[in-house]
Every structure is written in C-alpha cells, then in structure tokens.
C-alpha cells in the first residue's frame, strides 16, 4: 500500500545549510586598513629611534675614547717682569746673488766660499765668442753707415748750392737733403748698437758690487753661463756683507710703545755661551702685523770681528717697565706652532683652547709668561703635539682620572 503525501504537512528543514552573512561596509574596511598602517608606522618609528639612539651613543663613546688625556694645573704667579727675551733672526746687512749679464763659457773664477772680497774685485771671467762677432759686425756696419751718410751729406750740400742758380731742380735738392738726414739717423742707430754690444762685452768680467764674503759658488770652469737673474739664468756667486748684521725680532703689541730708535739692546747666542753682544735698535716697521699682532724691529750689531754668522738665531733681551703680573709654567707646556708660541688651556669643562703667549725668563725647566695668561687658567701641562683648537679632552688629576665633561 502506498502512502500518499499529505498536502497540509510542512517540508522538513536541512540543518547543514550555510547561513547568509552581511558584507563588510567600505567605511569599516578603510578604518581597519588605516589602523594597520598606523601600527606599522609606530613600530617602524620605534625601531628607527632606538637605532638612532644607539648610533648616537656609539658616536659619543667613540669621541670620548678618541679624546686625548691631559693634566691641567693653574699657573704660579711670578714677579713682575722688567725684561723679556724674544728670538731674533740674524741676517747679513746686504745679501745679494750675483748673476751674469751676458751669455758664454766660464773661463776662470777667482774666489771660493769664505773668501772676503772688496768692492770691485774680479770674481770671474766669461768668454763670449758670439758676442765678440756681433760687435765686430756692428762696428763694420757703423763704418758703412758713416760713409753712406758722409756721401749723402756732400750731395745735399752740392745740390743746395746749385739750386740757388736754378742749375738743378728743387725736387732733386729736397730728395738729397732728406737722404742726408736719413743716413745721419742710421749712423746714430749703428752707434747705439755698438755701444750696447760693447756694454755687454764688458760684462764678460764679473765684479763684486760691495765689500763682503762669498757664501756660495755655483759655477765652475767650462760651464755654459746664461744671462739674467730669472728663468734660465743661474746664480754664479752669493755675496753677503757681514761687517754689520741685522737682527729682526717680532715685538708683541703690548710692548710696542716701550722701545725707541737708538736704544741699546743686549743679544746672546747659544754658540757664545756667557757672552753678551750689544746692538742698536735702528728702525721698526711702524705698523702692527694684523696676523701676529707684533711689531717688526731691526737691531744692528757690529760684527767686524767676524764672530757672528748670518742665518743664526739670537736671543734678544728687551727691557720694559713692569706691565702686570707674570706666571710660571713648565717648559713642556709651550706649544710651538708656525703662528708663534702657544699655551693650551682647558675651557668650558673639557674643551682645548690655544692662546698666544710671550715668554720672559727661561731656566730650562720653567718659563715666565709675561703676556697671555690670567690667574685661574687651567693650563695643560704636557700637551700632545696633535692638540688643536676646540678639541675635546679628558682631564686627569693626580691620583684620579675624571672626565672633564662630568663623567
């Protein structure tokens, strides 16, 4: 028997059917993406900042380790200075290189280094065969020019006399007169050329221009000599007048008003220990050098005995009224630079500062600073050679090491 379906009966629901979901709105999706981007940027920023802090810390640590360690101390107060010593450069009163004025071959030289010569002494002789031939040709040209001029003069005088009687034309007369004037000018030109060559020929002999000593001889017999003081020209001799020597010193601006022309200045030399020479302050530059703030002075010293040598270093002793307190520092504290003497200070806790100084008495172990320091300055006792202005340093104190920057 077959069961018939009941039309009033509801169909059964299947429990495994998927439920329907509502789609996400575009606004919510954009907010979510934005939140993710913000989180990513924050994380990246945190990483970058941490790396930057690490790099900065590493740089600071590297700089600290690279900074030189120094010991500082305040300078001791010294007695007011009444004199101070400056280095002086000793030069010859007259210093001249001797060049040839004509070209040729050196046939002979007469004085070697160390020889004392008088003004006008014959130093060397030069053979100039080409110049001799040029002079001979110029003299022949002069004779020819004189003969031509003489003939033109005679013709001009003859025509000038004949034109008065209308025996010759005025035009021919003017032509011969002009020819006479031209040939006379040619004679003067030839004479000038002969004088020039004779003057050059006279330079075959090289003479001393002043009394002095030969300090260099740069030529020998047979060498080819070129004329001139520059370019291909070669210095033959070097001559210096040493009867009187010039000593140049750079006087600090502070004492520029305390020295007068004619003042007697004491000079000492390392090679003449215990002996003092006296010079006279002859002239000054009358201007302060803006680079070094010093006044260039010249002191002349008598050297007729020949004891002093040009090119040496002198110690120049200046006397001056007391200008203020002085300070004593170790000799090792001095820094020698091309700009002059310097002393290193520590300022702003751990920064090196180089100050120019003027020294007074020097006993080898300590020096007297007459200008450049103040009471309370922190002087670097033994500065490294590589110390520069503005460099960071570590300050060491006896018994302990501390970083001047507070570390």
DSSP string, 248-299: EEEEEGGGTTS--TT-EEEEE-TTSTT-EEEEEEEEEEEEEETTTTEEEEEE
From CA 306, how far away is CA 283, in angstroms rounded?
23
Place of tokens 């030969």: 214
Q: Do residues 113 and 88 lie in contact, with contact meaning Cβ atoms separated by under 8 Å?
A: no
Q: How far apart are CA 107 and CA 94, in angstroms?
A: 28
d(CA 258, CA 321): 8
Run of H or E residues at 183: helix 170-202
Tokens describing residue 141: 């040209």
Burial 163-173 (b: 16+ CB within 10 A, else e): beeeebeeeeb
* Alpha-carbon distance values, 71 to 292, 326, 336, 384 (Å): 28, 21, 19, 11
Rg of the chain's alpha carbons, rounded to an integer? 47
Q: Measured at the alpha carbon of residue 48, what is the angle toward residues 46 and 49, in degrees to the nearest 5? A: 65
**pTM for this entry:** 0.58
Please state the separation of Cα 121 from the chain's center in Å: 36
What is the residue-level pLDDT of the chain in tens, covering all 407 positions?
Answer: 445 555 555 554 444 544 555 566 677 677 777 777 777 777 777 777 777 776 676 666 565 556 788 888 888 888 776 777 889 999 999 999 999 988 899 999 999 999 999 999 999 999 998 888 999 999 999 999 999 999 988 888 888 888 777 777 888 888 888 988 999 999 999 999 999 999 888 889 999 999 999 999 999 999 998 887 555 678 999 999 999 999 999 988 878 888 889 999 999 999 999 899 999 999 999 999 988 888 999 999 999 999 999 999 999 998 877 666 788 999 899 998 877 789 999 998 889 999 988 877 777 788 888 878 888 899 998 888 888 888 888 888 654 444 434 43
């Amino acid at each position: 028997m077959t069961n018939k379906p009941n039309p009033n009966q509801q169909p059964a629901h299947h429990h495994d059917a998927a439920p329907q979901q509502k789609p996400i709105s575009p606004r919510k999706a954009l907010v979510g993406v934005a939140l993710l981007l913000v989180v990513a940027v924050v994380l990246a920023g945190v990483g970058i900042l941490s790396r930057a802090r690490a790099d900065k810390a590493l740089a600071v640590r590297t700089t600290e380790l690279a900074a030189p360690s120094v010991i500082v101390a305040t300078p001791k107060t010294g007695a007011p200075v009444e004199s101070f010593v400056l280095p002086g450069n000793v030069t010859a009163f007259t210093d001249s290189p001797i060049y040839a004025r004509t070209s040729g071959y050196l046939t002979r030289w007469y004085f070697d280094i160390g020889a004392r010569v008088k003004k006008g002494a014959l130093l060397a002789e030069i053979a100039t065969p080409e110049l001799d031939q040029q002079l001979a040709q110029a003299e022949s040209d002069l004779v020819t020019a004189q003969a031509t001029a003489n003939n033109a003069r005679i013709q001009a005088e003859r025509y000038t006399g004949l034109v008065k009687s209308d025996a010759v034309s005025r035009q021919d007369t003017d032509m011969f007169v002009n020819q006479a004037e031209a040939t006379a000018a040619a004679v003067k030109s030839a004479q000038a050329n002969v004088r020039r060559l004779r003057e050059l020929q006279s330079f075959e002999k090289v003479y001393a221009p002043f009394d002095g000593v030969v300090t260099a001889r740069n030529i020998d017999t047979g060498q080819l000599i070129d004329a001139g003081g520059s370019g291909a020209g070669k210095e033959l001799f070097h001559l210096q007048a040493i009867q009187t020597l010039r000593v140049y010193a750079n006087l600090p601006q502070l004492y520029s008003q305390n020295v007068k022309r004619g003042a007697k200045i004491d000079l000492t030399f390392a090679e003449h220990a215990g002996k003092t020479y006296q010079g006279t302050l002859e002239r000054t530059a009358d201007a302060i050098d803006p680079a070094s703030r010093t006044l260039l002075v010249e002191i002349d010293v008598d050297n007729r005995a020949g004891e002093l040598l040009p090119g040496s270093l002198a110690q120049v002793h200046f006397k001056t009224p007391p200008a203020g307190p002085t300070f004593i520092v170790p000799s090792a504290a001095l820094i020698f630079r091309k700009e002059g003497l310097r002393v290193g200070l520590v300022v702003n806790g751990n920064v090196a500062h180089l100050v120019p100084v003027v020294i007074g008495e020097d006993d080898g172990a300590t020096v007297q600073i007459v200008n450049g320091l103040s009471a309370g300055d922190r002087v670097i006792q033994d500065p490294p050679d590589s110390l520069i202005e503005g460099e960071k340093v570590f300050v060491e104190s006896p018994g302990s090491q501390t970083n001047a920057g507070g570390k």
